[in-house]
Amino acid sequence: MPPPGSGPLHRRLAVFDLDGTITHRDTLWPYVRGFLANSCRSRLRQLRVLPTVLAFLLGRADHGDVKQAFIRATLGGARRADIEAWTARFIDQVVMRSCFPQALAAVAEHRSRGDILVLMSASTDLYVPGIGRRLGFTETICTGLRWNKDRLEGSLTTPNRRGEEKVRCFEALKARHPGLPTVAYGNTCSDLPHMQLADEAHLVNASAKACRQARRLGIDTGRW
């Protein structure tokens, strides 16, 4: 949490992860599940991702490949108007029912002190920017998806914003705000590489394994 006495003259760069850090759990699967239910698309479309999952288990695909295959299998070809209508409802649900109160309080505290707030998530630009705007973030960094005119194509237009890609993004943020103290919040082992680069870091709601790794790195751990 920001130290007492911080203010606009002592602003910081505060970078938050989304899934499991601000929200109770992953957001992509509930987003897709809700869209399928509301659009009457068959959930059997999810089976199309199985070859990529098998390739992942064999070490021949990465998390980004699985994410891309999952989105293309389930949401591919959906109309922009239908996506946007569901996204508005989904964001309402997430903000009203699926966020840790302590996380929202931390975000509000940083905002009240004039800190630059960045939401950095491996989840997609279908809804992460909207959640960021609702919560008062200055900027969002997330995984981009390709459209074909008015239809969602679903392949990734950016690297999957996870692990070492978050390191790259965090370093770019620091370069854009030279001399600004940094704070990072995350919840998984894959968040630790970029959190090590922050002047202050908080690992929340993490597994025992992630907490052990964080403590070895001198990173604060806790639960929201």
Q: Cite the beta strand spans of the chain per DSSP E.
A: 13-16, 116-124, 139-143, 145-148, 151-156, 182-186, 200-204, 220-222
The pLDDT score that the predictor gives to residue 171 is: 98
Distance CA 195, CA 215 (A): 12
The pLDDT score that the predictor gives to residue 5 is: 42
197 close to 172: Cβ distance less than 8 angstroms: no
Note down pLDDT in tens along the chain; length 224 residues.
Answer: 444 444 445 799 999 999 999 999 999 999 999 999 988 777 777 778 888 888 889 999 899 999 999 999 999 999 999 999 999 999 999 999 999 999 999 999 999 999 999 999 999 999 999 999 999 999 999 999 999 999 999 999 999 999 999 999 999 999 999 999 999 999 999 999 999 999 999 999 999 999 999 999 999 999 99
Q: Helices 63-75 & 28-39, crossing angle to 10 degrees?
A: 10
Coil/strand/helix, residue 141: strand
Domain ranges across the chain: 8-222
The pLDDT score that the predictor gives to residue 41 is: 75
CATH label, 8-222, candidates 3.40.50.1000, 3.30.1330.10, 3.40.50.720, 3.40.1410.10: 3.40.50.1000
The pLDDT score that the predictor gives to residue 130 is: 98
The pLDDT score that the predictor gives to residue 135 is: 98
The pLDDT score that the predictor gives to residue 124 is: 98
Neighbours of 66 (CB within 10 A): 17
